[in-house]
Structure 1
C-alpha cells in the first residue's frame, strides 16, 4: 500500500490577539495497484473496473486512489488472485473461480451450474452465510474479498456445428470456466480455462474447437462470431456470476474505516450498475449477430437433463472429498431449499 506518497500537511496559522498557531493534518492519500482480469475495452466487465476506481476516487475526495492495470501488465490475467495471495500485488479485479486451484470450493463464490438467479445468489451471499464462508476461506490465504460485480445468465457456448445430443460433445476441445468445465469434462469435452484475450486466437489456430465466455455483448466484442456460428443458450453453467475486488488482507486492515466503507459502498454501486446494464445490452447484440449469420440455439431439454445430472454427481463427489466444499455446498443448498417456498408462490415460472 502506497500511503503518504502524495500526502500533505495543511498548516493553518492563527495569529491574532496572542493566540498560539495550530496545525491540522489532512488525510494522507492511499494508492493501490490493481490487476484486472478483463481489458477495459470489454463491455460491462472491463468498463466496471474503471467505474469502480472513479467512484472510489470521487467518494474519497481523492484520498483513496486505485490504479487499474490492463490484463497481463502486472501479472498474467489468470494469476491475478493468486498474486494477491502471494503478496506480489495489492489488489485484483476478478472472480473467485480464478482462485479455485487453491481450493475447488472457491468456485461456489463465482458461479454454480444450474444455480440461482442474481437476486437469490445475492440473498444467500449476504443473508444466508455465503459471504462469511468466503471471507473465512480467503483470509486463510491473506486475501480480503469484496463482492463487486454481478452479471445475468451467460450464453453457454459457441460451436462450429449444431449439437443434437451429448454424443456430439465428445472429443470437442473447448474453453470453459469453473465448475461448468467439470460438467463438460464428464460428458467427454476437453476443457481449458483461458483468459478472454487468448480465446479467439486459440480457436483460429485450431487449438480449440469451441468456446464459452460470457454475455452476448461481451462475446460479440471478442469476435467469436467470425469463426463459430452456432451460439447456445441458456447459460446453465452460470445463471448468475459474481465478481470481487480482492485486496491483500494486511493492506485492507491498514486502511481507515472510512476508506473501507467507501470501497464497500462503491462495489455495491458497481453491482447494481452491472446487473442493470447486463440485462439491457444483450438483445441488441444478439440481433446484430443473427443478422451476420449466427444461429441462436436453445439446448434441448434432454441435453439439459444430462448436464444437470452430471453436475449433481460432481457436487456430491466434491463434497465427499473436500470439507470446505461440503460446508459451502451445504449452506448454499439449505438456503436454496428454503428459498423454494418464496420462489414458488411469488414468481411467474
Structure 2
C-alpha cells in the first residue's frame, strides 16, 4: 500500500507538471547568432541552450538558432532585436558600443573584473539591474548566457619588455583596449577574424590579439608570430549574452522565463568549464610547437592600467550611461576587494 501511495503521489506530481506546461502557449523565437554553431566551444553550448530551454519549458518555448549572417548581418543584430524584427540574438554585447558605449563594460573592456567577481556583480551586486536600465530604451533584455575563456594578451613578432617596445607597432586589437594602446603610440586596426592571420603573416601588422588560446590556435597565429603574451589585460572576462526583445520577453509565462534563466545559467557553467580545458590543451600544444609564452612585465601592466582608468574617466564624462555602469562596477569592486583580501592565502 505504501508503495502504491508513493507511486500515485509521484504520478500526480508529474501530471500536475504536465498540466502546467500544457497551459503555457507555444512560443517560437528566431535567434540570430554572432558565433557559429561550430565555433568551439561556445557554439555547441548556444545550440544546447535552446534545447534545454525547450525541455525545461515542457516544449512550449522553441528557439530556432540561425548561423551568423543567415538571418541578419551580425552588426545588425542589436537593431533587429530592438525593433522586434527578430525575437532574440546571441552575442558579445560589447560589439554594439556604437549603440550604447557603456555596454562594453559587460563584455569587452580592459582591467574589468575576473569571472568570479563579474558573476557576483551581475547576479547579486546590481550589475544586471543597471544593464536592464540602460537597455530599456532600446527595448532589449540581456541575459547572461555563456562565457568565452579569458583572452590572451596577443601575438607579437618581437619581444615586449617595456611599454616603449609597443610604440610604433601596427596591431590588430578591438574594443576599448585599442583606445589605451593608441595612447602608447600603437597603430590599431580592428580586422575581422579571417583577415588577421594573412595580415600578420605578410607583416602588414606587427602584432595581433584575437581571443583565447583555443580560438587563436585554430587560426594558426603561431605560424606568423612566436611571442604569445598573457594575460589579456584588454578583456579579462568575455561574457556572452542572450539579447531578447522586451515585448517578446514580456509575453513569456513565469515558467518559460524560469526555463530560459535555467538554460542560460547552465550554459554559463558549462562554457566556463569547457573553455578552460580547451584553452589549457591548446596552450600545451602551442608550447610544444616552440611558441614563446610570456607574461607582461608588471611595470607594463601597471602603466596600461593607469591609462585605462584615465580613459574610463574620460568616457564617463562623455556618456551618462557609461558613467552609470562604471560607477556601479567600481563601487562593487571596492567592497569586493576588501573582503576578498581577507580570504587570500599568503
State the TM-score, normalized to the length of structure 1.
Answer: 0.86
Pick the aligned partner of 2:281 from 275, 279, 284. Answer: 284
Specify which structure has the bigger relative contact order, considering alpha-carbon pairs within 8 angstroms and separated by 6 or more residues: 2
Tell me the residue number matched to 1:211.
Answer: 208
Q: Does 1:239 align with 2:236?
A: yes
Pick the aligned partner of 2:59 from 54, 57, 62. Answer: 62
2: CA distance, partners of 1:339 / 1:278: 25
Change (3 A) 1:289 1:184: same
Q: Greater shift after overlay, 45-54 or 81-90?
A: 81-90
Residue 314 of structure 1, CA deviation: 0.2
Pick the aligned partner of 2:142 from 145, 163, 169. Answer: 145
Residue 32 of structure 1, CA deviation: 1.5
Residue 49 of structure 1, CA deviation: 1.1
Residue 152 of structure 1, CA deviation: 4.3
Q: Does 1:307 align with 2:304?
A: yes
1: CA distance, partners of 2:87 / 2:223: 37
What secondary structure sits across from 1:140 in the alignment? helix
2: CA distance, partners of 1:225 / 1:83: 37
The gaps in structure 2 that reach 5 residues or longer are 1-21
Tell me the residue number matched to 2:13.
Answer: none
What secondary structure sits across from 2:64 in the alignment? strand
Does the CA contact (< 8 Å) of 1:159 and 1:211 recur in 2?
yes
Residue 151 of structure 1, CA deviation: 3.7
Pick the aligned partner of 2:163 from 163, 166, 169. Answer: 166
Does the CA contact (< 8 Å) of 1:81 and 1:98 recur in 2?
no
After TM superposition, the structure 1 = structure 2 runs for residues 262-341 of structure 1, keeping only pairs within 5 Å, are 262-341=259-338
Residue 130 of structure 1, CA deviation: 0.9
Does the CA contact (< 8 Å) of 2:217 and 2:286 recur in 1?
yes
CA deviation vs aligned residue, 1:217-265 (integer Å, no higher than 9, x gap): 1211222223222211011122222111001111111222222211111
Does the CA contact (< 8 Å) of 1:37 and 1:93 recur in 2?
yes
CA deviation vs aligned residue, 1:38-79 (integer Å, no higher than 9, x gap): 122222222221221121222223322222122222223244
The gaps in structure 1 that reach 5 residues or longer are 1-24
Residue 328 of structure 1, CA deviation: 1.3
State the TM-score, normalized to the length of structure 2.
Answer: 0.87
Does the CA contact (< 8 Å) of 1:38 and 1:196 recur in 2?
no
Tell me the residue number matched to 1:20.
Answer: none
2: CA distance, partners of 1:297 / 1:47: 31
Does the CA contact (< 8 Å) of 2:148 and 2:237 recur in 1?
yes
1: CA distance, partners of 2:268 / 2:159: 35
Tell me the residue number matched to 1:230.
Answer: 227
Does the CA contact (< 8 Å) of 1:81 and 1:99 recur in 2?
yes
More helix by share: 2
Residue 207 of structure 1, CA deviation: 5.2
Does the CA contact (< 8 Å) of 1:114 and 1:238 recur in 2?
yes
Does the CA contact (< 8 Å) of 2:109 and 2:176 recur in 1?
yes
Q: How many residues align?
A: 326
Residue 26 of structure 1, CA deviation: 6.5
What secondary structure sits across from 1:174 in the alignment? strand
2: CA distance, partners of 1:125 / 1:296: 32
Residue 165 of structure 1, CA deviation: 2.3
Change (3 A) 1:44 1:74: same
Tell me the residue number matched to 1:7.
Answer: none
Tell me the residue number matched to 2:111.
Answer: 114
1: CA distance, partners of 2:251 / 2:261: 15
Does the CA contact (< 8 Å) of 2:41 and 2:278 recur in 1?
no
Does the CA contact (< 8 Å) of 1:42 and 1:221 recur in 2?
no
Does the CA contact (< 8 Å) of 1:117 and 1:152 recur in 2?
no
Residue 281 of structure 1, CA deviation: 2.6
Tell me the residue number matched to 2:97.
Answer: 100
